[in-house]
Amino acid sequence: MIKNIAIAISVLLLTIACTSTPTDNAQNCDTIIDDYGDTVVVPHSPRRIVSTSPAVTEILFALHADTLMVGRTDFCTYPPEASEIESIGGISNLNVEKIVSLHPDLVISGSMVPQKNIRQLATLGIPVVCVIEKQNFNGLFANIEQIGKLTNHVHEADSLTAYIHQQLQHLQTAIDTSSLRPSVYYVVGFGSTGNFTAGGKSFINDIITMAGGTNMASNLDGWAYSLEALMEGDPDFIVVRREDSASFCNTHPYNRLSAVKNHRVIGINSALIDLQTPRNINAVIFLRKKIEQSPIR
């Protein structure tokens, strides 16, 4: 009974947000197509947003649209202020009842949320817009723009993308295009479970390139990479999540790689590079600095 009442209230609130008369409906609601190609009717000015994606949460905060948030996942931990927003739990096991109880007029989701949960929410009358990770760095700008439009923070979105573009332009000007670009390998996974890295069709590939390196796995389609190819390629630099750096360097046969022997293993905050967020520019700047500190002769 309580669950049914919560659902009814949620649907009622959405109905109020998108009033029933044709004129008011056109003024108060927008029809958009999300990243999965779904047509979604959303409030023109949402007031109660639930984010089911850490990347979306970061962008909402970067746009100063966090005041509209009433829910986020356990994995939405940046910025630290996100912890003050009520959590709905996990991502792959989305708690639909919890979301409904927060009476959202908009849910912004990512690629990790099961489609069945998205359909459940849509059936309950709660609009869900999926803003997913793109394969290239420029996709970040598209995501910022989309979330800016959804939240009526277009000016903030324009300012943020302009700032990132400015930082990138400064970096590219500083990089001597005639100089040798060192080969770089990014460790996504290693050891007995297999070797995994980011291929050429990923925004991580673009981060490496914009930092002045060449992704050793740029020809890779997918994520799995053979140990033989890694050892034979013997990259100039290894980039690995900071928490995995010591383990990687001390594990055979990775400890035989030139980058390990020459102290060219770069431990990075995984949040800067694994999620497609405005902090990706910090990853570019960080890697560029590390590469400059150990030039390849």
Residue range 92-115: average pLDDT? Answer: 95
Tens of pLDDT along 260-272?
A: 999 999 999 999 9
Q: Which fold, 176-293?
A: Rossmann fold (3.40.50)
Tokens found for residue 155: 């000016």
Instruction: Indicate the range of 2-6, 121-125, 155-159 predicted with least confidence.
Output: 2-6
Q: Report the percent of the chain where pLDDT is more than 70.
A: 89
Domain residue spans of the chain: 2-158, 176-293
- Per-residue pLDDT reduced to its tens digit, 19-74: 444 434 445 899 999 999 999 999 999 999 999 999 999 999 999 999 999 999 99
Give yes or no for a contact between 58 and 154, defined as CB atoms under 8 angstroms apart.
Answer: no
CA distance 125 to 172: 47
| Whole-structure pTM value | 0.89
Q: Do domains 2-158 and 176-293 have the same CATH topology?
A: yes
Is the pLDDT assigned to residue 10 strictly greater than 70?
no
Provide CB contacts within 8 A for 190, sequence distance 6+.
196, 244, 248, 251, 254
Question: Quick check: 195 and 230 in contact, CB under 8 A?
Answer: yes
The confidence score (pLDDT) of residue 27 equals 54
Superfamily of domain 2-158: Nitrogenase molybdenum iron protein domain (3.40.50.1980)
Share above pLDDT 90 across residues of the chain, in percent, rounded to a whole number? 84
